[in-house]
Chains A and B, each alone.
Chain A
Protein backbone atom coordinates (compact mmCIF):
# COMPACT_ATOMS: atom_id res chain seq x y z
CA UNK A 1 0.00 0.00 0.00
CA UNK A 2 1.29 3.44 -0.87
CA UNK A 3 1.57 5.76 2.11
CA UNK A 4 0.59 9.39 1.54
CA UNK A 5 3.47 11.84 1.59
CA UNK A 6 3.71 13.36 5.06
CA UNK A 7 6.05 15.84 6.59
CA UNK A 8 7.90 14.27 9.50
CA UNK A 9 8.63 17.65 11.00
CA UNK A 10 6.55 18.71 13.96
CA UNK A 11 7.88 22.26 14.28
CA UNK A 12 7.38 25.21 11.96
CA UNK A 13 7.05 24.41 8.29
CA UNK A 14 8.63 26.26 5.43
CA UNK A 15 5.95 28.14 3.49
CA UNK A 16 6.54 29.97 0.24
CA UNK A 17 3.84 32.24 -1.16
CA UNK A 18 4.28 32.67 -4.89
CA UNK A 19 2.97 35.98 -6.26
CA UNK A 20 2.46 36.16 -10.02
CA UNK A 21 -0.30 38.79 -10.39
CA UNK A 22 -0.26 42.57 -10.46
CA UNK A 23 -1.95 44.40 -7.56
CA UNK A 24 -5.39 46.09 -7.75
CA UNK A 25 -6.56 44.50 -11.04
CA UNK A 26 -7.37 41.26 -9.22
CA UNK A 27 -7.65 40.26 -5.55
CA UNK A 28 -4.73 37.79 -5.59
CA UNK A 29 -2.01 40.12 -4.30
CA UNK A 30 -4.10 41.27 -1.35
CA UNK A 31 -5.03 37.67 -0.49
CA UNK A 32 -1.36 36.65 -0.50
CA UNK A 33 -0.64 39.45 1.95
CA UNK A 34 -3.45 38.25 4.24
CA UNK A 35 -2.11 34.70 4.16
CA UNK A 36 1.48 35.69 4.86
CA UNK A 37 0.35 37.56 7.98
CA UNK A 38 -1.64 34.52 9.14
CA UNK A 39 1.30 32.20 8.57
CA UNK A 40 3.59 34.57 10.46
CA UNK A 41 1.13 34.71 13.37
CA UNK A 42 1.45 30.93 13.69
CA UNK A 43 5.26 31.28 13.78
CA UNK A 44 5.80 29.48 10.50
CA UNK A 45 8.95 29.91 8.42
CA UNK A 46 7.37 31.95 5.67
CA UNK A 47 8.80 33.55 2.54
CA UNK A 48 7.30 35.34 -0.45
CA UNK A 49 8.40 34.99 -4.05
CA UNK A 50 7.52 37.58 -6.68
CA UNK A 51 7.74 36.78 -10.37
CA UNK A 52 5.94 37.66 -13.60
CA UNK A 53 3.42 40.46 -12.93
CA UNK A 54 3.81 39.76 -9.21
CA UNK A 55 6.85 42.06 -9.15
CA UNK A 56 4.46 44.98 -9.69
CA UNK A 57 3.00 44.31 -6.21
CA UNK A 58 6.14 45.76 -4.60
CA UNK A 59 6.49 48.90 -6.74
CA UNK A 60 6.87 52.00 -4.56
CA UNK A 61 4.71 55.10 -4.92
CA UNK A 62 1.32 53.38 -5.26
CA UNK A 63 -1.51 55.86 -4.66
CA UNK A 64 -4.97 54.34 -4.80
CA UNK A 65 -7.03 57.40 -3.81
CA UNK A 66 -8.21 57.84 -7.40
CA UNK A 67 -9.60 54.30 -7.41
CA UNK A 68 -11.16 54.72 -3.96
CA UNK A 69 -9.75 51.38 -2.80
CA UNK A 70 -7.42 50.54 0.08
CA UNK A 71 -3.73 50.84 -0.65
CA UNK A 72 -2.29 47.69 0.92
CA UNK A 73 1.24 48.17 -0.41
CA UNK A 74 2.61 49.95 2.73
CA UNK A 75 1.80 46.78 4.69
CA UNK A 76 4.79 45.13 3.03
CA UNK A 77 6.98 47.51 5.01
CA UNK A 78 5.50 46.07 8.21
CA UNK A 79 6.31 42.45 7.34
CA UNK A 80 9.71 42.76 8.96
CA UNK A 81 7.94 43.35 12.31
CA UNK A 82 6.34 39.91 11.86
CA UNK A 83 9.77 38.39 11.15
CA UNK A 84 8.86 37.96 7.51
CA UNK A 85 12.00 39.14 5.77
CA UNK A 86 12.52 36.56 3.06
CA UNK A 87 11.23 38.40 0.01
CA UNK A 88 12.55 36.96 -3.24
CA UNK A 89 12.14 38.69 -6.60
CA UNK A 90 13.01 37.09 -9.91
CA UNK A 91 15.50 39.18 -11.89
CA UNK A 92 14.14 38.46 -15.35
CA UNK A 93 10.61 39.52 -14.36
CA UNK A 94 11.96 42.85 -13.11
CA UNK A 95 14.03 43.48 -16.23
CA UNK A 96 11.20 42.60 -18.60
CA UNK A 97 9.14 45.34 -16.94
CA UNK A 98 11.81 48.05 -16.86
CA UNK A 99 12.14 47.78 -13.07
CA UNK A 100 14.99 47.15 -10.65
CA UNK A 101 15.39 46.68 -6.89
CA UNK A 102 15.40 50.47 -6.41
CA UNK A 103 11.87 50.61 -7.86
CA UNK A 104 10.57 48.52 -4.95
CA UNK A 105 9.22 49.67 -1.58
CA UNK A 106 11.06 47.11 0.56
CA UNK A 107 14.50 45.49 0.51
CA UNK A 108 14.37 42.22 -1.42
CA UNK A 109 16.71 39.52 -2.64
CA UNK A 110 16.85 39.55 -6.41
CA UNK A 111 17.40 35.99 -7.66
CA UNK A 112 17.62 34.32 -11.02
CA UNK A 113 15.09 31.65 -11.93
CA UNK A 114 17.41 28.78 -10.99
CA UNK A 115 18.05 30.14 -7.50
CA UNK A 116 14.35 30.75 -7.01
CA UNK A 117 13.57 27.25 -8.21
CA UNK A 118 16.03 25.74 -5.74
CA UNK A 119 14.45 27.67 -2.86
CA UNK A 120 10.99 26.60 -4.00
CA UNK A 121 12.03 22.96 -4.01
CA UNK A 122 13.17 23.22 -0.37
CA UNK A 123 9.75 24.25 0.92
CA UNK A 124 7.25 22.13 2.86
CA UNK A 125 4.33 24.07 1.38
CA UNK A 126 4.09 26.29 -1.70
CA UNK A 127 0.99 28.46 -2.08
CA UNK A 128 0.25 30.09 -5.41
CA UNK A 129 -1.39 33.48 -5.93
Chain B
Protein backbone atom coordinates (compact mmCIF):
# COMPACT_ATOMS: atom_id res chain seq x y z
CA UNK B 1 0.00 0.00 0.00
CA UNK B 2 1.05 3.59 -0.71
CA UNK B 3 0.43 6.47 1.71
CA UNK B 4 0.82 10.05 0.46
CA UNK B 5 1.35 12.95 2.91
CA UNK B 6 1.21 16.52 1.56
CA UNK B 7 0.97 18.67 4.71
CA UNK B 8 3.63 19.96 7.10
CA UNK B 9 4.03 17.71 10.15
CA UNK B 10 4.09 20.85 12.30
CA UNK B 11 0.75 22.13 11.09
CA UNK B 12 -1.38 19.04 10.52
CA UNK B 13 -1.81 15.58 11.99
CA UNK B 14 -1.67 13.82 8.61
CA UNK B 15 1.84 12.45 9.02
CA UNK B 16 1.23 11.30 12.60
CA UNK B 17 -1.98 9.54 11.61
CA UNK B 18 -0.29 7.96 8.60
CA UNK B 19 2.55 6.58 10.71
CA UNK B 20 0.07 5.27 13.28
CA UNK B 21 -2.01 3.45 10.67
CA UNK B 22 0.55 2.33 8.07
CA UNK B 23 1.39 -1.38 8.17
CA UNK B 24 4.92 -2.82 7.86
CA UNK B 25 6.12 -2.91 4.27
CA UNK B 26 4.00 0.04 3.19
CA UNK B 27 5.41 2.94 1.18
CA UNK B 28 5.07 6.55 2.41
CA UNK B 29 5.49 9.31 -0.16
CA UNK B 30 6.07 12.86 1.09
CA UNK B 31 5.06 15.65 -1.30
CA UNK B 32 4.41 19.43 -1.15
CA UNK B 33 4.76 20.69 2.46
CA UNK B 34 4.92 17.06 3.58
CA UNK B 35 8.60 16.97 2.53
CA UNK B 36 9.55 19.00 5.63
CA UNK B 37 9.06 15.77 7.60
CA UNK B 38 12.06 14.27 5.77
CA UNK B 39 14.53 16.97 6.87
CA UNK B 40 17.37 16.55 9.34
CA UNK B 41 17.34 18.00 12.84
CA UNK B 42 13.60 18.61 13.01
CA UNK B 43 11.34 17.67 15.89
CA UNK B 44 9.82 14.79 13.87
CA UNK B 45 13.18 13.31 12.79
CA UNK B 46 13.08 10.51 15.36
CA UNK B 47 9.52 9.59 14.40
CA UNK B 48 10.62 9.14 10.79
CA UNK B 49 13.78 7.24 11.77
CA UNK B 50 11.79 4.87 13.95
CA UNK B 51 9.13 4.31 11.31
CA UNK B 52 11.76 3.76 8.60
CA UNK B 53 12.56 0.37 10.16
CA UNK B 54 9.31 -1.00 8.76
CA UNK B 55 8.17 1.57 6.20
CA UNK B 56 9.79 2.75 2.97
CA UNK B 57 9.99 6.55 2.70
CA UNK B 58 10.03 8.51 -0.54
CA UNK B 59 10.05 12.28 -1.09
CA UNK B 60 9.40 14.28 -4.24
CA UNK B 61 12.64 16.04 -5.25
CA UNK B 62 11.08 19.08 -7.01
CA UNK B 63 9.15 19.89 -3.80
CA UNK B 64 12.32 19.55 -1.73
CA UNK B 65 14.29 21.86 -4.02
CA UNK B 66 11.51 24.46 -4.15
CA UNK B 67 11.71 24.67 -0.35
CA UNK B 68 15.51 24.86 -0.20
CA UNK B 69 15.68 21.55 1.68
CA UNK B 70 18.11 19.79 -0.67
CA UNK B 71 21.10 18.65 1.39
CA UNK B 72 18.96 18.42 4.53
CA UNK B 73 17.23 15.12 3.78
CA UNK B 74 17.37 12.20 6.21
CA UNK B 75 19.26 9.06 5.22
CA UNK B 76 16.89 6.31 4.21
CA UNK B 77 14.48 8.66 2.43
CA UNK B 78 14.56 7.98 -1.30
CA UNK B 79 14.21 11.02 -3.57
CA UNK B 80 12.05 10.59 -6.64
CA UNK B 81 10.93 12.73 -9.59
CA UNK B 82 7.48 12.96 -11.17
CA UNK B 83 8.05 9.79 -13.21
CA UNK B 84 8.93 8.00 -9.97
CA UNK B 85 5.70 9.37 -8.45
CA UNK B 86 3.73 7.78 -11.30
CA UNK B 87 5.64 4.49 -10.87
CA UNK B 88 4.77 4.40 -7.15
CA UNK B 89 1.09 4.99 -7.85
CA UNK B 90 0.89 2.40 -10.61
CA UNK B 91 2.75 -0.30 -8.67
CA UNK B 92 0.54 0.00 -5.57
CA UNK B 93 -3.04 -1.19 -5.83
CA UNK B 94 -4.22 0.88 -2.84
CA UNK B 95 -3.37 4.54 -2.29
CA UNK B 96 -4.38 6.70 0.67
CA UNK B 97 -3.80 10.46 0.54
CA UNK B 98 -3.63 12.01 4.01
CA UNK B 99 -5.04 15.37 2.91
Contacts and interface: CB of A to CB of B under 8 A. Distances in A.
A52 interface: yes
A14 interface: no
Given A25-B8, A97-B10, A64 B66 contact: yes
Contact of B62 (A23, A52, A66): A66
Interface of A: 21-26, 52-53, 56, 59-67, 69, 71, 73, 96-99
B75 to A, nearest CB: 14
Contacts of B7: 25
A22 B33 contact: yes
3 nearest A-B residue pairs (beta carbon): A98-B41, A66-B62, A25-B33
Contacts of B42: 96-98
A98 B10 CA distance: 12
Given A22-B8, A53-B10, A96-B10, A62 B33 contact: no
A98 B39 contact: yes
Contact of B69 (A59, A64, A67): A59
A98 B66 contact: no
24 contacts: A21-B11, A22-B11, A22-B33, A23-B67, A24-B32, A24-B33, A25-B7, A53-B8, A59-B69, A62-B66, A62-B67, A64-B65, A66-B61, A66-B62, A66-B65, A67-B62, A67-B66, A73-B68, A96-B10, A96-B42, A97-B42, A98-B39, A98-B45, A98-B72
B9 to A, nearest CB: 10
Given A22-B33, A60-B68, 8 more contacts: A24-B33, A24-B67, A59-B67, A59-B68, A61-B68, A66-B62, A96-B42, A98-B45
B40 interface: yes
A40 B33 CA distance: 29
Interface string B51-77: 000000000011101111111100000
Contact of B68 (A26, A63, A65): A63
